[in-house]
Chains A and B, each alone.
Chain A
Amino acid sequence: MGFLPTVALDQPGKKVFLSGNEAFARGALEAGVAYATSYPGSPTAEVLEILSALAKTFNFYVEWSVNEKVAMEGAAAASFAGLRSLVVMKCDGLNVAFDFLTSLALAGTKGGMVILVGDDPGAHSSAKEEDSRYLGKLAHIPVLEPADPQEAKEAMVAAFELSEFLRQPVMLRSVTRVCHAGGDVALSKLQRINRLPFLDREERFITWIEFHATAETKIAQAAAWGENTPLNTYVGPERTKWLLITEGPCFYYAREAVVLLGWEEKVGILKLGMVWPLPEEFLKKHLMHAEKVIFGEEVEPFTEENVKALVAQYGKQMGFINFYGKKSGHVAGPAGPGLGEMNPDIIMQALKRIEEEEQGLPVPQEREESLVAPGELPNRELAFCPGCPHRASFWALKGALELDGRGGFVLGDIGCYTLGKGRTGYNLLQTMHAMGSGAGLACGFGQLSRFGFNQPVVAVGGDSTFYHAIIPALVNAKYNQADFLLVILDNETTAMTGHQPHPGTGLRATGEGAEKIALEEIVAGLKIPLFISDPYAVDETRAIIFRLLQEKGPRVLILRRTCALIAAKTKKPRVYVDPARCLGDACGCARFCSRVFACPANIWDEEKGKAVIDEVICNGCGVCASLCPQRAIVVEEAVLVS
């Protein structure tokens, strides 16, 4: 069978190192998943990639869907036919699929169906840090949350079983510190479930108001299940006045904080592996003796609110409890309560502060001797990679808008080109919201000429985003004749999340060929004027954009060039500065290549006072060579990279 990754080893009992995302995939294999779909989004993008590589060997179906709603609908269909199905997305994707999910929860499911959602507290690779637990509660479905890779695997299996038992989808909520964490995981048996998919003529999955009551009953059943699941645990002394209620990786942060303080005999830690619905009896048992309850959770005070409501409900049985969390401000990171990630230090500070308040001592000021004055270190702003076609595209856009001079502006959305909001894209983006929103907003701006508005409007969007969410906006633009230019930044891949294929690439998730659905054919089908250019040909591209800015109605320009990280894997021309031709600061170009064009591979040799190229990181696009006023940059013939 060749190289089989550790995630797929059929060796029950063996301990292997797995990332959280690998552990989720492993859990799906151990649960006998038959159908898995996703639209890539960090921090969960790798899960379907891992499953895609194994789909043939293990004979299950995988699909990169064009968006999360379609992905969830496909997985639901597999469930209706009796198969176990998984759909994977990030929190933003759940918003896209949410209309379907709230309906699905009333209609119910058949085969086990798990919705794995990756939240990103601190927004390491997101624009926002949405807390999707609220959406699970709103949809009336159970929400499980693992604390580490071992639990990621176990929670996946448990979620499938619970879903099949309830005939309801189960949400598995994970955070970056589980998805992108790694740990030793004990493997269990791989399971293959041979079920013949079948929808009986008598079976119906209909969303209707009368099933609201059914959904409530199922949630009550889930709560009863939660009383006995090992995913909910408690560690600490039998009866304790200090109770830390945690979930996910916060459990480990809490335990380490307690160990570092030496408070093991004083503080009990309760971990919720099922965060919704609450296991009420389990919680009550521990809340009964508690005088101080502290919450460690990410990001919003979700469990804090739910537990407070529970305590209010059973007020007579409870003693007087002081609550410490985001509402009281005690559990807060540097950004403030309810903002950003948790870590062991935040929990430790919270515990110390509560203790000090109890002792009546003044809260000591946090004072830390800085070892090396980190404030003085230059930060690393996000930048387009060396050779990124988007840098060239934004440079051409900037030039064309300046030439036009009517105050034209650029609307963006989600993808690598989001960085166009910063200096690497010359701060061109003036709006940035959801997938496809640049084009949608342009539909609005594009109707304002009747009120005397005459600024040119440009929306940018990526190729993968085009299939995901831009098409409806473009149909709207054509239908209502909105005045704007849509620039599709086509780098022929889903770059931001790690180069997943999409309908325009001619490949499916497993690597098998698919008929390409070309961007230009879709645009042509709408009979919208269409132009295609190579962003590396900067002058030509700028001229086309300028011309298109002068026109009315919807227009589309495809700027097509393969992502530099992919291109450099096969062909990488050597690019270097000829020191004889570079005039250095005497040139008058103001260090154009490194300071103005701002490609990280264009650096400055302070000793020689001349430009130089960092050949380790240069991807060989050669755009700087075409822009250098002295023509001092040389591009050698492309060499094949082994």
Chain B
Amino acid sequence: MTLVSEPPRRGGTPHLGAVAAQGFGLVAAALFIAPVAWTALSSFKPEAEARQPPLPPWPTTGFSVDTYRSLDQFGAGIGRYTWNSSVVAVGTVALTVLVSLLAGYGFSRFRFPLKNALFVVVMATIMIPFQSILTPLFILLSRLGLQNSLAGLVLVYVTLQLPFSVFMMRNAFDAVPREIEEAARLDGCSSLQLLARIMLPLVLPGIVTVALFAFLASWNEFLAALIFISDDRLYTLPVMMTAVSAGRMGSVDWGALQAGITVMMVPCLILFLLLQRYYIRGLTAGAVK
């Protein structure tokens, strides 16, 4: 991102203004980070301390993983639910990347009947909230034997990611100069070889963006997971943690809740911090166009 430079013009006390501006930034940044940091730090308190108000947020009576142990007592264990969420997220990422890579290539480089109409149809689904098709989707998945299965959830998530992902990948292919593939075609490459050997590395940034969005969306999705998964052994983390927050016999295990929230947040935060520029690029691609 390019920053617009402005001529320095604030006469008088530029220093004081700059200090005040930095002060504002620090306080605001602290406010935005605080809830996340508070939870992650508190999750390492011993059981008794975790029930107390988190003042201060860090453990004062020794570091402990008690909260994670008690979280593991819920249902089939936290390992099982983390596995479910991971299967759904990795499956969604893999299938979204594969399908949108092929479609992006097709929409960018080939001419065929109804091409524009098909592209518009895929894009138009973004205008329609998926919440309004949940009821028939539930019936459709049961008929296909995909209701109450992680595979069914993956297929729904991939479909929801497609408008954005196909748009991103088509743009990525559009940005690749055509001379490159024409040269390869002369050398006798088939379309598929061309895609795998020559185009793939060139559209890699687009793939990373698509994968990141697919991961965050599927890892965090709640409503469809709540509706389509009825077997509590197949719950994903958000659904399972909602059961934890409802409490057992009227009391909520706050320590377990902090631990579970931390498990849910950490992968998202790490991926975002590592791949931030791909995320912002995906966000602004739609805003600029």
Task: Verify that A and B bind, or say they do not.
Answer: no
Q: Which A residues are within 8 Å of any B CB, using their own CB? A: none
